[in-house]
Amino acid sequence: MEFDPTRTWVASSRLAASEIGNESVVLNLADGKYYGLNDMANRVWRELQQPRSIDQIAAALTAEYEVAEDQARRDVTQLLSELHALQLIVAVP
């Protein structure tokens, strides 16, 4: 399924994840592959523990970091597209 930036997204339930320091480690139970998310990606990952749209996540980032809303939205879109390709997030029906 292609990534649709207009949908609401949430972390997949077929994962094990843990935050260590300022990073998260995510293990995809479907294929046994694991990933490290640091800095802003970790902050986005925290948001994705609940269903979130790209706009909601971008708003959370702009409130916390010195980043323009447009740039935040582009960054979040790119990251969510990658997380989707890795099957770490799923669209909320």
Question: Could you give the strand order of the β-sheet that contains 8-11, starting from the edge strand earlier in sequence?
Answer: 52-53, 8-11, 89-91
Report d(CA 52, CA 42) in Å as an integer: 15
Question: Could you give the strand order of the β-sheet that contains 15-20, starting from the edge strand earlier in sequence?
Answer: 15-20, 23-28, 33-37
91 binds another protein (CB under 8 A): no
* Residues between 4 and 43 with contacts to another protein, criterion CB under 8 A: 14, 16, 18, 20-25, 27, 29, 32, 34, 36-38
Q: Which is nearer to another protein, 6 or 18 (CB)?
A: 18
# chain residues binding another protein, by CB under 8 A: 16
User: What single-letter amino acid sits at 80?
Assistant: L
Q: Which residues bind another protein (CB under 8 A)?
A: 14, 16, 18, 20-25, 27, 29, 32, 34, 36-38
